[in-house]
Structure formats: C-alpha cells, structure tokens
Structure 1
Amino acid sequence: MNDANCIFCRIVRGELPSKKIYEDNTMLAFHDIHPVAPVHFMVVPKAHIPTLADVTPEHAGIFGSIMTRLPQLAAEQGLTDGWRTVINTGRVGRQDVYHVHIHVIGGPDPLGPMIQR
C-alpha cells in the first residue's frame, strides 16, 4: 500500500525523479539528494511503512530482502571497507520522512563518531 502524499511513495511510483541504484518488487535504492559522505544512498521498502516501530512480523520478508541486498549494493557503490547504516525512527529519533528508510553512508575515509557527545 502507498500513501498518496508520501515523498518516498511518490519516488517509488516514479512521480518524482531519483538516481536509482537498484529496484525489485519489494525495495528501491537511490542516491540521497543531500549526501553527508562521498557515498550516501537510501533503501526504502515499496510498501508504505511509516516508522521502524510500525514493522510487524508480516514485514519480515521485506526487511530480510533489504538487509541481505545491502552488502551487494554497498560494494557496487565502492564501499568495500565498511559503511554505516542509519534508520531514524519517530520524532525523538529525528525521522524527517515518515516512510521507513535506511541510509547507507560511507567513503574512502573513516566516518566520524556515530553520535556527537
């Protein structure tokens, strides 16, 4: 199911442009339009799931497919020595778009600390 107003649903439906990396029945991977590192792409399920807190056992197949595809996608983008995955969840987690999305971030140099203290 898709949400008519969700920006990621609109990208999935092809209504908004994206620089696609990968697409299949369950997911879409595309470059982030505001990268924070030399490599920064996002992976979204095609189904509209607002937050990680909304994931249920029914979504196991979707997220199993996404997580097992990530190493291949990261390698294809040149991330052979590690990368960071980030899933912001809800208001406190600073989620900006309420459609689950995984940021994959990396580059040739080590990333900074995960959380500034």
Structure 2
Amino acid sequence: MTLFEKIIAREIPAQIVYEDDLSIAIRDINPQAPVHVLVIPKKPIARVGEAQPEDQALLGHLLLTAAKVAKQEGLENGFRITINQGVDGGETVPHMHVHVLGGHSLSWPPG
C-alpha cells in the first residue's frame, strides 16, 4: 500500500484541501512553492506512463480538479501543473499524482 493509499484510507493524516469521489487534494509536506497541492486519484495508477485507455476520463478529471484547486487557492495570476514520471522525472511515490504549484512567479525551464 502506497503512502497516498494510506492517506486516502485515513491511516495517515494529511491536510486535505479538496475531495470528491475520484480524487483527493492535499498540501505537499515538502512544498516547492508557496502553494503546493497534490491532486491524487483514489484509483491507484503507479505512474502516468502506466495509465490505461480506460483511465482517460479519470486523467481528465485530475486536470480539471487541479484547475479547481488552483482557483480555490487564489492562484489567479497563474500556476503550474506537473506530473513526475520515473526517477529522472522526480517521481518519489509510485502512485500517480498532479502537482499544483503557484503563489509566486515560476521560472522556466524548471530544474
């Protein structure tokens, strides 16, 4: 069971900022921006590269939820959505999730 599955099951505490039937959004415990929220599907998908065609609606839901959370968090000046894939992509938990980052100007290119 991944860390995120334990959070979804309420076995580990987290600061939840949004939840619906398909996803949960929590504050990152190691924020990389003033606002750093993770939007996590309740259905465990190890990484975006392993999503299946039947996950298409869920993946779209995660992006719409990320935008909803960004608005809720007051990120009207802009935000960044990131999904990490694999070690070189910065993946640390094998449960796909969407990072919503904002609250200040974000530089490009990242890292």
TM-score by length of 1: 0.89
Tell me which structure has the larger Cα radius of gyration: 1
The match for 1:12 is: 8
Q: Which amino acid aligns with 1:38?
A: P
Question: Counterparts of 1:32-43 in structure 2 under 5 Å?
Answer: 32-43=28-39
Distance across 2 between alignment mates of 1:98 and 1:26: 18
The answer to whether residue 84 in structure 2 is matched with residue 76 in structure 1 is no
Q: CA deviation at 1:92?
A: 2.3
Distance across 1 between alignment mates of 2:66 and 2:44: 19
Q: CA deviation at 1:115?
A: 2.3
| Aligned counterpart for 1:31 among listed residues 14, 27, 35 | 27
Q: CA deviation at 1:91?
A: 2.1
The match for 2:18 is: 22
Number of residue-to-residue matches in the alignment: 111
Query: What's the C-alpha RMSD, in Å, of the aligned pairs?
Result: 1.1
Give structure 1 stretches of 5+ with no counterpart.
none
Contact persistence 2:46–2:96 (CA under 8 A): yes
Give structure 2 stretches of 5+ with no counterpart.
none
Distance across 1 between alignment mates of 2:55 and 2:16: 23
Contact persistence 2:66–2:81 (CA under 8 A): no
Q: CA deviation at 1:24?
A: 1.1
Q: CA deviation at 1:73?
A: 1.0
Distance across 2 between alignment mates of 1:53 and 1:110: 29
